[in-house]
Structure 1
Amino acid sequence: MITKKDYWIGAVAGFLTGVLALVMVFYLEISFPYKKAFFLIGVPVLFAFGVWLGGFLGRYFRVFTQFGKYVTAGFLSTLIDFTTLNVVSALTGVTAGIVIGWVNIPGFVIAVFNGYLWNKLWVFSPRLSVFPRGASDRNLVSDKTGVFSDFPKFLAVTVGGLILNSVTIIIITTYISIPLGLTPQRWLNVAKVLASILVIIWNFAGFKFFVFRK
Structure 2
Amino acid sequence: MNMKRKDFLMVAIAGFFTSLFLLPTLKNVKLLGISNAFYLFMAGLPILWVLALVVGRFLNRWLGWIYQFVKFCVIGFLNASIDFGVLNLLSLYTGITSGFILGGVNVPGFIIAATNSYFWNKFWVFSHQRQEGPPAQAGEKVSYGDLPTFIAVVVSGALVNSGLVVFISTYFHPVFGMSAERWLNIAKVSASAAALAWNFIGFRVFVFKSKENQLT
Q: TM-score, normalised by structure 1?
A: 0.89
CA 1:211/1:43 → structure 2, altered by over 3 Å: closer, same or farther?
same
Structure 2 residues not aligned, in runs of 5+ = 211-216
Please state if 1:72 is matched with 2:68.
Answer: no
Matching residue within 57, 61, 64 for 1:62: 64
Amino acid at match of 1:12: I
Question: Paired residue for 1:156?
Answer: 152
Instruction: Read off the aligned partner of 2:100 and give its amino acid letter.
Output: I
- How many Å apart are 1:93 and its aligned residue? 1.2
Counterpart position of 2:38: 36
Aligned pair count? 205
State the percentage of identical aligned residues: 40
Secondary structure at the residue paired with 1:3? helix
Offset of residue 128 of structure 1: 10
Which 4+ runs in 1 deviate beyond 4 A? 132-136
DSSP-derived class of the 1:91 partner = helix
What are the superposed Cα offsets for residues 81-131 of structure 1, whole Å, 9 maximum, x if unpaired?
A: 0000001111111110000000000000000100000110000111799xx
- Aligned counterpart, 1:100: 102
Pairwise CA RMSD = 2.2
Higher relative contact order (CA 8 A, sep 6+): 2
> Structure 1 stretches of 5 or more lacking a match?
none
* Residue identity opposite 1:167 in structure 2: G
Scaled by the length of structure 2, what TM-score is found? 0.88
Note the C-alpha offset of 1:134.
8.3
One of 18, 39, 47 as aligned partner of 1:45:
47
Identify the residue that residue 9 of structure 2 maps to in structure 1: 8
In the alignment, what sits opposite 1:26? 27
Question: 2:11–2:49: 8 Å Cα contact kept in structure 1?
Answer: yes
In the TM superposition, what are the counterparts of 1:165-204 in structure 2 within 5 Å? Answer: 165-204=161-200
Moved more, 104-113 or 16-25: 16-25
- 1:65 CA displacement: 1.4
Please report how far the alpha carbon of residue 56 of structure 1 lies from its aligned counterpart in structure 2 after TM superposition. 1.5
